[in-house]
Structure 1
Amino acid sequence: MSSLQLLLRNSRGAGSWFGRSGAGALSGVLSVARRSIIDLSYSTHFMDFNGSSIPSSMKKLVVTKLSPDFRSAVSVQTVAIPTPADSELLVRNRFVGINASDINYSAGRYDPSLKPPFDAGFEGIGEVVGLGLSASSRYTIGDTVAYFGSGAFAEYTVVPAKVSVPVPAVKPEFLTLLVSGATAYIALKRLGDLAEGETVLVTAAAGGTGQFAVQFAKQAGCHVIGTYSSNEKAGFLKSLGCNRPVNYTTEDLAKTLRKEYPKGINVVYESVGGSVLETAVNSLANKGRLIVIGFISGYQTPSGIPPFKGGTLPVKLLQKSASMRGFFLPHFLSDYTEALSSMIQMFAKGKLVCEVDYGELAPGGKFVGLESIYRAMDYMYAGKNLGKVVVEVAPPSVSNSKL
């Protein structure tokens, strides 16, 4: 008797799936089955051990104490491979993305009620190697998916099927869109109110999210200023259409903006904080809009907040009828599906650059394996990255065939 027949027989006994609705759910599996399925629960999920070589254990990064020092807060642990529930997928991670906010998460700043230990990482992309029966109505073994959720810094992650994003291939370029691209797309669309001919300032413009803010502002017909820290980044920004790259290590940003843009800046996409944020406020035009999407310059400090002289902020905003608004992606999830769909289409048509930094030029070389996430984090916080920092968790699987 085949394992699939065994599954059906036991499902009849369980009585929860092999009724009229259960037969319909399994009919698609029966019609295309090409490989035996090992079903651990007999009625709730499929696990493709043979085709995907699922081991008995895996490594993952776990926050064991709250600290903005990522190396001391997070440790590598070996645990059993998780089992997907009825509506979940088990994803074998190929690539994971590094975000500045990973440190805020490890420091417990997003959810004070969350106590260690808890899993680290926000975004991943890989192949489906296990799934629940409900999830099998949309996915099958071998499908490639990306996701935005907790616990991504692991060799395998269980992900709700409803928040998984089908992608045509396991390319890290798709990974850049999940947080970095979506933040720029939604923030500028909902809060920027961009108009053709306006002047837009993007800080950390050659970074993971800055690269997208530059492109979306250009697509809106705006004149774009982008701050950067090295000559290599200047060339990259020009290739994206940035009109005025500004090297903040060799130029005085405040003086440059006063001299070259005396009428002020219409929209600022700001992620650095501190003195850069002060300069941005002082440089706003009448009816200018400043969007705060982060303040990375303070994340590694105990408070997580860089010093900011905001005593006269109300006066400065009032005098210019200007506004300053914050953007936190989880608050805009109603816009997420449209944003992601639009960006994937743009990328497919060659209308969107998704620059990925694998760390080839980093000390120690390319970021490969979970342990390299520590180096990748240091690399990003040193401002060395060009585009989105990505870690390759595992090489391509031996087989991508489907059930």
Structure 2
Amino acid sequence: MSGPLLLQLLRRGRAAQRPTGALSGVRSIIDTSYSAHFMDFGRSSIPSVMRKLVVNKLSPDFREAVTAQTVAVPTPGDAELLVRNRFVGVNASDINYSAGRYDPSAKPPFDAGFEGIGEVVGLGLSASSRYTVGDAVAYFGSGAFAEYTVVPAKESVPVPAVRPELLTLLVSGATAYIALKRLGDLAEGETVLVTAAAGGTGQFAVQFAKRAGCHVIGTCSSDEKAGFLKSIGCDRPINYAAEDLAETLRREYPRGVDVVYESVGGSVLQVAVNSLANRGRLIVIGFISGYQTASGIPAFRGATLPAKLLQRSASIRGFFLPHFVGDYREALGSMMQMLAAGKLVCEVDRGDLSQEGRFVGLESVFRAVDYMYAGKNLGKVVVELLPPPVGNKL
């Protein structure tokens, strides 16, 4: 069959197979020219409409900025996948995104959400060389807070199954892995302080620092979280609700800490700076304590900062994951291997202990954001958007 004839058949909405022989084993091509021909791997038709979250107003108040809308299910282009989202991850930065802080030129409306995992239910012709309907994929990109999302095939990550634990690696795990590797300069025997250590990214920073042979301190807000931190290798959990963080660090670590993995900002950042050892490195991966304010930046008394850094030959380094895309594939591959070998804990919080129960359905993303900002989560906050298709074994 000639190439032009094949394309004509596809445009008529008929599925086609590539020729056998030298190309045997190549996956079938699924025509997604028309929504009527979208088929999931359970052979049930894709609906014509879906729900998604859209930023309609720039505001650090997520509920004020974002609304749920019913829209047509999108059609993937030639090199794209249509993913049926099963789980999506909630990040502290979702508020920065809805406030327009990442891209000041962005004007509403635009889609919300950074990361998702689900099944391929439709794809373009070029994308079919690598994927087929029914494949499990994860992705890191905008527009994840939707029942279906179109994702470039080259930016998708094939995964063995649609498990929420794998979702923890896309942003939270990758941030900790790359930041500590590229900016932490960890050496065996050093002391590492991880703030918000029982959260989505903190849990990974604890584990990676411990794998590097470091003594790890982790801050948290409850005895339950302190117990979890001990279970993943944290040498000294500090429950700041029961202990004074600054006093504890001065008393137990008089020479200071070598590396700080910091995501809280404000007064916690102040304590971290004052606790640096000679040649200490402080990595700023966020400052969640200020995200819900108008400026997004918590107050910080930095007038003496240059003198403190100079006196200790210390440094403060900022880390923003999109600036390190060249490290992303290696980081994700390495973490997947650790997880498969049982050497990495990926704690997921699906809201089971929240007042209204587990986070299920698109509307529960709002609850999940509130839950995280209330500091109630233990691990990565994940929302289940859609149940698995009938007969799905993933």
Global fold match (TM > 0.5): yes
Q: What residue in structure 2 maps to residue 333 of structure 1?
A: 325
- With over 3 angstroms needed to count, the CA separation of the structure-2 counterparts of 1:285 and 1:82, relative to structure 1, is same
Correspondence 1:40 to 2:39: no
- With over 3 angstroms needed to count, the CA separation of the structure-2 counterparts of 1:248 and 1:27, relative to structure 1, is farther
Distance 2:356 2:188 in 1: 44
Q: CA deviation at 1:47?
A: 2.7
Q: CA deviation at 1:24?
A: 6.7
Deviations 1:275-330 (A, max 9, x none): 00000000000000000000000000000000000111111000000000000000
Q: CA deviation at 1:249?
A: 1.2
User: Which secondary structure state, in structure 2, belongs to the residue aligned with residue 305 of structure 1?
Assistant: coil
Correspondence 1:203 to 2:195: yes
Match of 1:292 among 284, 288, 296: 284
Distance 1:273 1:123 in 2: 24
- With over 3 angstroms needed to count, the CA separation of the structure-2 counterparts of 1:401 and 1:88, relative to structure 1, is farther
Q: CA deviation at 1:263?
A: 0.5
User: Which secondary structure state, in structure 2, belongs to the residue aligned with residue 226 of structure 1?
Assistant: strand
Match of 1:396 among 383, 388, 392: 388
Deviations 1:95-131 (A, max 9, x none): 0000000000000000001000000000000000000
Q: What residue in structure 2 maps to residue 190 of structure 1?
A: 182
Correspondence 1:320 to 2:316: no
Distance 2:182 2:30 in 1: 46
Q: Letter of the aligned partner of 2:347 in structure 1? A: E
Q: What residue in structure 1 maps to residue 103 of structure 2?
A: 111
Q: What residue in structure 2 maps to residue 357 of structure 1?
A: 349
Q: What residue in structure 2 maps to residue 217 of structure 1?
A: 209
Deviations 1:334-353 (A, max 9, x none): 00000000000000000000
Match of 1:102 among 81, 94, 101: 94
Distance 1:332 1:368 in 2: 32
Q: CA deviation at 1:40?
A: 2.4
Contact in 2 for aligned 1:38/1:48 (Cα 8 Å): no
Correspondence 1:246 to 2:238: yes
User: Which secondary structure state, in structure 1, belongs to the residue aligned with residue 88 of structure 2?
Assistant: strand
Deviations 1:206-232 (A, max 9, x none): 000000000000000000000000111
Deviations 1:148-177 (A, max 9, x none): 000000000000000100000000111000
Q: Letter of the aligned partner of 1:257 in structure 2? A: L
Q: What residue in structure 2 maps to residue 18 of structure 1?
A: none
Q: Which 4+ residue blocks in structure 1 deviate beyond 3 angstroms?
A: 7-10, 12-15, 22-33, 36-39, 399-402
Contact in 2 for aligned 1:376/1:391 (Cα 8 Å): yes
Correspondence 1:383 to 2:375: yes
Q: What residue in structure 2 maps to residue 237 of structure 1?
A: 229
Match of 1:56 among 31, 44, 48: 48
Q: Letter of the aligned partner of 1:63 in structure 2? A: V
CA RMSD, 1 decimal: 2.5
User: Which secondary structure state, in structure 2, belongs to the residue aligned with residue 281 of structure 1?
Assistant: helix
Which structure 2 residues correspond to residues 11-26 of structure 1 after superposition, within 5 A? 11-12=7-8
Q: Letter of the aligned partner of 2:356 in structure 1? A: G
| Number of equivalences | 387
Distance 2:237 2:101 in 1: 33
Q: Letter of the aligned partner of 1:121 in structure 2? A: G
Contact in 2 for aligned 1:52/1:398 (Cα 8 Å): no
Distance 1:25 1:82 in 2: 32
User: Which secondary structure state, in structure 2, belongs to the residue aligned with residue 263 of structure 1?
Assistant: coil
Correspondence 1:265 to 2:257: yes
User: Which secondary structure state, in structure 2, belongs to the residue aligned with residue 269 of structure 1?
Assistant: strand
Deviations 1:234-286 (A, max 9, x none): 11000011010001111111110000000000000000000000000000000
User: Which secondary structure state, in structure 1, belongs to the residue aligned with residue 357 of structure 2?
Assistant: coil
Deviations 1:16-44 (A, max 9, x none): xxxxxx957999699765xx9554269xx
Distance 2:77 2:30 in 1: 16
Q: Letter of the aligned partner of 2:33 in structure 1? A: L
Match of 2:130 among 113, 129, 138: 138
User: Which secondary structure state, in structure 1, belongs to the residue aligned with residue 94 of structure 2?
Assistant: helix
Distance 2:163 2:23 in 1: 28
- With over 3 angstroms needed to count, the CA separation of the structure-2 counterparts of 1:10 and 1:195, relative to structure 1, is closer
Correspondence 1:153 to 2:149: no
Q: What residue in structure 1 maps to residue 59 of structure 2?
A: 67
Q: CA deviation at 1:53?
A: 3.2
- With over 3 angstroms needed to count, the CA separation of the structure-2 counterparts of 1:52 and 1:222, relative to structure 1, is farther
User: Which secondary structure state, in structure 2, belongs to the residue aligned with residue 173 of structure 1?
Assistant: helix
Q: What residue in structure 2 maps to residue 81 of structure 1?
A: 73
TM-score (norm 2): 0.93
- With over 3 angstroms needed to count, the CA separation of the structure-2 counterparts of 1:159 and 1:255, relative to structure 1, is same
Match of 1:276 among 244, 268, 274: 268
TM-score (norm 1): 0.91
Match of 2:154 among 162, 166, 183: 162
Q: Give unmatched runs, 5+ long, in structure 1.
A: 16-21
Q: Letter of the aligned partner of 2:7 in structure 1? A: S
User: Which secondary structure state, in structure 2, belongs to the residue aligned with residue 180 of structure 1?
Assistant: helix
Correspondence 1:128 to 2:128: no
- With over 3 angstroms needed to count, the CA separation of the structure-2 counterparts of 1:30 and 1:374, relative to structure 1, is same
